[in-house]
Amino acid sequence: MPNIRLIPVEFVVERALALKTAAEALPLRTLLSDWFTSNNHEAEGYLVLRDIDDHFPSARQVSLNGEAEQETVVLPGCILSRYRNNQTEARMLVAIIHEIHRRMNIPVKDSRKARRPEDVRQDNWTWPHVMRVMKYKDIIADNTNKATFGAMIEQILGDKVKANSIRRANYGVYDIVNTPDFNLSEQDKDVIREITALFLPLTMPKKVNEAVR
């Protein structure tokens, strides 16, 4: 018997899509969004929420608390335009960066008691690893330097980090950004694979809905 304590995401989405208006679907969308946030699945959750938003175009203008419009996410110019100029993509990118920061900074005592892989502190992750992934996945411009990248991350994280902190040497060695794959250590390769997986909801090909509406 399936675990009834877990929210049936597909069932909730089907119910939301069966409704006539974005306003009617909003409570179900809010339920899903709250569940994704509470369980630290914001990045993956954006794919599900986007299915609902694409079904109800006006839903993009409805915030989770029922207000008329979400605050516009403005991202720095080093981020490629396909992510800067699409609010769904921009919000997903922000969620992924926040999730990476969360995993890097999970308290040790909480990490020791973790019951899920995503709640284990990632001491080996560094922002240079993240920069490498974002470059290779064409999320940021290829000529983005350490200072520009650090400023971008600091802008997204806001008061969660100190000014200029991402560019400090103790946050990792930026030489790894341009190191050839064959010169990477196995540990670095593993870290890069893990971080790349977090960006999949943003970088994977988007589902094309061919149904006639």
Question: Could you read off the pLDDT tens digit of each residue along the chain, which spans 213 residues?
Answer: 345 567 788 898 899 899 888 778 888 888 888 887 777 776 667 777 777 877 876 544 444 444 435 567 889 899 999 999 988 899 899 999 999 999 999 999 999 998 888 899 999 999 999 999 999 999 999 999 998 999 999 999 988 888 888 877 666 788 999 999 999 999 999 999 999 999 998 888 765 443 333
Which of the listed residues 53, 71, 89 is the one where a domain comes to its end?
Answer: 71
The first and second tokens of residue 209, run together, are: 């809905």
Cα gap 107→87, rounded to integer Å: 32
Mark whether 18 and 117 lie in a shared domain. no
Dihedral (CA of 180, 184, 188, 193) sign = positive
Strand partners, 84: none
Cα gap 151→174, rounded to integer Å: 14
CA atoms within 13 A on the CB side of 138: 4
Helix 127-136 with 146-157: angle, nearest 10 deg: 100
Identity of the residue numbered 10: E
Say what the pLDDT of residue 26 is: 83
Q: How far is CA 117 from CA 23, 44, 89, in A?
A: 36, 15, 25
Say what the pLDDT of residue 38 is: 75
Report whether 29 contacts 16 (CB < 8 A): yes
Structural domain boundaries, residue 111? 72-206
Q: Is residue 142 part of a domain?
A: yes
Report whether 87 contacts 72 (CB < 8 A): yes
Cα gap 80→139, rounded to integer Å: 6
Mark whether 112 and 156 lie in a shared domain. yes
Q: Is residue 212 part of a domain?
A: no
Which of the listed residues 71, 95, 122 is the one where a domain comes to its end?
Answer: 71
What 8-state DSSP symbol labels residue 78? T
Number of domains composing the chain:
2
